[in-house]
Homo-oligomer: A and B are copies of this chain.
């Protein structure tokens, strides 16, 4: 599978990488080791020593973060990937003793990695996730491994018409007759669902959106996709009749990073504004845990089953029947394909 390489992908959540620790992740088929340097800045190296190919991630962070030491014969590499210590013989460092270093930026509570040409890595191209700014928001963040192609996950979030069938808890008559729109704006695709006069929403949703007893609610789900696989989801609700601006919105991130062709890292989060007080932390912790249930027990099994049924074939080669809900994901897939084609023929 050809991946878009000159792009930012989430490698980990901020909280997943502790000082002094080595975190190994396979990203776009490459083994990468993440760690924090002496300043606490996140760093990413190819997770394979150039001497005898041991994973650096089995070694240790040395010199207070200034280097990573290979577990096998003790070569040390700095954050640029240069070998800075050879404990053997006369200690001379062979010219070829270097590993690839990947640009990595910590932003929006995540570590964003650039797997393409380093000189093209422009942090301003990281999509905006303001609700993942920990100063103003309490963030619940999770990570799942999915045995399926990352594009299946994009499809899943861009077409939330599956909620009615896959997540019966969130279903209602209003969900069934939702109005759906999509928009494209450059490399960004939006999918928007609006549900009106919902009297059947579960009690916990009505409470979250502060709907008075006995009143119907209007709900919406706005999904934003930025190539290649960063998605934001705003789930909003307001008492029917009031303008949406007076409603409550719960935002979250759904970012996907291909591990290999058929396996995907799923980074998800949900945020509550610190402005509401200490309850924000509690809500973030409770809700990210509550989300894990349907993600693991409802979405993941279906996406993995779809992946098995597709058996590695390209979606279009299988000539899928398209429904109205597919409009946004078809647009996103085309856009992604165009970007990948441009990159591979450049």
Seen from chain A, the residues whose Cβ lies within 8 Å of a Cβ on chain B are: 31, 47-48, 50-55, 58-59, 69-75, 83, 86-90, 94, 96-97, 155, 159, 161-162, 164-166, 176, 301-302, 305-306, 309-310, 318-325
- Which residues of chain B come closer than 8 Å to A306, judged between CB atoms? 52-54, 72
CA distance A58 to B58 in the complex (A): 41
Cα–Cα distance between A324 and B52 once the two chains are bound (Å): 13
Verify A324–B70 contact, CB threshold 8 A.
no
Contacts of A31 in B (CB 8 A): 309
Are the C-beta atoms of A73 and B161 separated by less than 8 Å?
yes
CB pair A74 B318 closer than 8 Å = no
Q: Establish whether residues B165 and A318, one from each chain, have CB atoms under 8 Å apart when the complex forms.
A: no
Given the interface pairs A71-B165, A72-B165, the reply to whether A96 lies near B321 with Cβ below 8 Å is yes
Complex Cα–Cα for A58 and B297 (A): 12
CA distance A54 to B87 in the complex (A): 53
Residues of B within 8 A of A87 (CB): 164, 176
A-B contact pairs, 8 of them (CB 8 A): A51-B322, A53-B306, A55-B309, A58-B302, A71-B165, A73-B159, A73-B323, A75-B323
Q: In the assembled complex, which residues on chain B have CB atoms less than 8 Å from the CB atom of A162?
A: 72-73
- Given A58-B305, A72-B166, the answer on whether A320 and B52 have CB atoms closer than 8 Å is yes
In the bound complex, residues from chain B placing their C-beta under 8 Å from that of A58 are 301-302, 305
Q: A73-B165, A165-B74 are in contact. Are A320 and B51 (CB under 8 A)?
A: yes
Cβ contacts under 8 Å, A318 to chain B = 53
* Cα-based distance from A324 to B92 in the complex (angstroms): 10
Residue from A155, A162, A319 with most neighbouring chain B CB atoms (10 Å): A162
B52 and A305 contacting across the interface, CB-CB below 8 Å: no
Asked if A72 contacts B321 (CB within 8 A), the reply is no
User: In the complex the two chains form, what is the Cα distance from A339 to B245 in whole Å?
Assistant: 72
What CA separation (Å) do A88 and B176 show in the bound complex? 8
Q: In the bound complex, how far is the Cα of B320 from the Cα of A133, in angstroms? A: 43
In the complex, the answer to whether B166 meets A71 with C-beta atoms within 8 Å is: yes
Most chain B beta carbons < 10 A, residue from A70, A74, A86, A310: A74
Q: CA A165 – CA B301 in complex, angstroms? A: 42
Contact A89 B323 (CB under 8 A): yes
Q: State the Cβ distance, A262 to closest chain B Cβ, in Å.
A: 14
In the complex, residue of chain B having the shortest beta-carbon distance to the beta carbon of A96: B321
Q: A88-B325, A94-B321, A321-B96 are in contact. Are A309 and B166 (CB under 8 A)?
A: no
A120 to chain B, nearest CB (A): 26
Contacts of A54 in B (CB 8 A): 302, 305-306, 309
C-alpha spacing A55/B304, complex, angstroms: 10
Query: A320–B72 Cα gap in the complex (Å)?
Result: 14
Indicate if the CB atoms of A320 and B53 lie closer than 8 Å: yes
CB distance from A60 to the nearest CB of B (A): 10
Q: Distance in Å from the Cβ of A185 to the closest Cβ of chain B?
A: 23
Q: Which residues of B contact A322 (CB under 8 A)?
A: 51, 94
What residues on B are CB-neighbors of A161 within 8 Å?
73, 88
Distance A161 CA – B52 CA, assembled complex (angstroms): 12
Alpha-carbon distance between A15 and B83 when the two chains are bound, in angstroms = 47
Which of B59, B159, B305 is A55 in contact with, Cβ under 8 Å?
Answer: B305
